[in-house]
Amino acid sequence: MSSSEEDDFADLRRYFNETEWSSLAKAEKKRYRNVRRNHRAMLAIGLNSPVPAFMRKGRPQVSEPYNSEEDEWTPHLKRFPPAPRRFQSPTSRPARIPARRPARIPARIPARIPARIPARITASSQRGLTRRPTASTPTEQEGGPATPTGPPGEGHHSPLKPTASGRRLETQNLDYNSYHRGQNLRDRSRVSYTEEEEPKDDHYFFCEDCNDFFIEECELHGPPVFVHDTPAPLGVPDRAKLTLPPGLEVRTSGIAVAGLGVFNHGNTVAVGTHYGPYEGETTDREQAVESGYSWLIYKDRLLHDYIDAKRETHSNWMRYVNCARNDEEQNLVAFQYKGGILYRSCKPISVGEELLVWYGEEYARDLGIVFDYIWDKKSSAKDVNESSKFQIYSCPGCLFSYTSQIYLHKHIKRCHQEEYVRLLGAGEIRAESLEISSREDILFCDQQRAVIT
């Protein structure tokens, strides 16, 4: 890059003033350009890429040059939470899936899951952390370090981990422990950091248009739009339905086996519309795991609550929102805001369309929810009528279900040997079509036997 190109920072003018820019070394300027280019490239191909710290609005102005390790952690930059995660295609997961463990609670949550408890409990991906210089002595609680030696937060979690706000605590700890600071050969003063929970790490909204966080209002699009619940006294029968905001209704879901769901019957819901908070009773882990209606709410790194909407008398309409089975279907994102769970529309929701949020892969799996493993754009469920055409093929031996019979048969072949042999004998399965390719994401269940290939 020529020096005039280097000095022309029009592309990065949003993020630096002239003084800051001129104080940067050539390599640092190049690096910021690369970071921005990579971030955009990842977004362009549909990957979840947290907005690099220097590109976030509201970053504090600095009086010294930016640290070139900013992408990992820059002490003088305030850290902002990573972008909320969206539906993650099951095909992006490793082919082999751990057997189901009944005690797991999904953090219905992407980690914010909007992280769910392996039964719909998840951690908030909208978590940001700051650190302050101090000595660090790791202590253990819930299997994780109280004062992790490495930085958590954005940019360091695998984008393939399940959670939009639904990351599991174990995953977080793993990330802390496995984090290694990049080597920097340049002179710099070294300090050791103890992690300090940024007190307002769930005080951010996210603008779907700018792909950026904001606190009170987005610079370009203003304050967040909220649709409020209809007030209803706590404890009255059917309270959850009474709280439905105007324009929404509860009726049989377009997903064949899902029970009730929430539909838009008012005007088209614009992108960036907020609902919530999710209402329910604070409960313990055991009950949350059993419920099917709980979210995990992070209070700080080590403490969390479980909010359970099982009782219709003590919850709101959000308990009826079902889980999207694929990217196309998802029109709501769950995230943690000020200690509660909000849903935000991530695409326009037409009249007649069902509201569908992503619970987090693990939680959904624990609930036996069907994913579209062989998602075909041509037959995508764009509306309720189409989605109700889905044929569900359920495994007689476990909870897993598929939208393709051949995938169900492959699952039976893999996990339920006796049933497989029986179906073969009865002529209900034809062995020749059941080769399992390494690219196929066939679920293992806890009744898994020998793998027959």
Angstrom distance (rounded) from CA 97 to CA 118: 14
Nearby residues of 428 by Cβ (< 8 Å), 6 or more positions away: none
x/- map, 324-363, ligand SAM, by CB under 6 A: -x--------------------------------------
Query: Considering Cα of 375, then 378, then 158, then 295, what sign does the dihedral take?
Result: negative
Question: Counting contacts by CB under 6 A, is residue 222 touching ligand SAM?
Answer: no
Question: Counting contacts by CB under 6 A, is residue 260 touching ligand SAM?
Answer: yes
Nearer to ligand SAM, 242 or 424 (CB): 242
β strands within 88-208, DSSP E = 111-112, 129-133, 140-141, 144-145, 165-166, 193-197, 205-207
> Which one of the spans 43-51, 162-170, 249-257, 272-280 is the region binding ligand SAM (CB under 6 A)?
249-257
Interface size with ligand SAM, residues (CB under 6 A): 17
Question: Counting contacts by CB under 6 A, is residue 223 touching ligand SAM?
Answer: no
Residues between 58 and 77 that touch ligand SAM (CB under 6 A): none
Nearby residues of 170 by Cβ (< 8 Å), 6 or more positions away: 143, 144
> Which one of the spans 7-15, 60-68, 71-79, 252-260 is the region binding ligand SAM (CB under 6 A)?
252-260
Nearer to ligand SAM, 151 or 292 (CB): 292
Residues between 361 and 420 that touch ligand SAM (CB under 6 A): 367, 369-370
Of 49, 172, 253, 403, the residue at the interface with ligand SAM (CB under 6 A) is 253
Of 51, 248, 323, 342, the residue at the interface with ligand SAM (CB under 6 A) is 323
C-alpha closest to that of 453 among 203, 95, 152, 101 = 95
Nearer to ligand SAM, 15 or 359 (CB): 359
CA dist list (Å): 360 to 72, 113, 117, 341, 376:
26, 6, 9, 14, 21
Question: Counting contacts by CB under 6 A, is residue 258 touching ligand SAM?
Answer: yes
| DSSP secondary structure letter of residue 354 | B
Question: Cβ of residue 87: shortest distance to ligand SAM, in angstroms?
Answer: 11
Is residue 348 within 8 A of residue 76, CB to CB? The reply is no
Whose CB is nearest to ligand SAM?
A: 259
Residues between 283 and 322 that touch ligand SAM (CB under 6 A): 292-293, 319-320, 322
Nearer to ligand SAM, 163 or 294 (CB): 294
- Specify the amino acid at residue 229: D
Question: Cβ of residue 359: shortest distance to ligand SAM, in angstroms?
Answer: 7
- Give the containing element (helix H, strand E) for 305: strand 304-308
Nearer to ligand SAM, 43 or 399 (CB): 399
Of 97, 255, 423, 429, the residue at the interface with ligand SAM (CB under 6 A) is 255
Question: Counting contacts by CB under 6 A, is residue 53 touching ligand SAM?
Answer: no
- Specify the amino acid at residue 294: S
Angstrom distance (rounded) from CA 51 to CA 82: 7
The SS3 assignment for 193 reads strand
With vertex at residue 360, the alpha carbon angle to CA 162 and CA 319, rounded to the nearest 5 degrees, is 160
The binding site for ligand SAM (CB under 6 A) comprises: 253, 255, 257-261, 292-293, 319-320, 322-323, 325, 367, 369-370
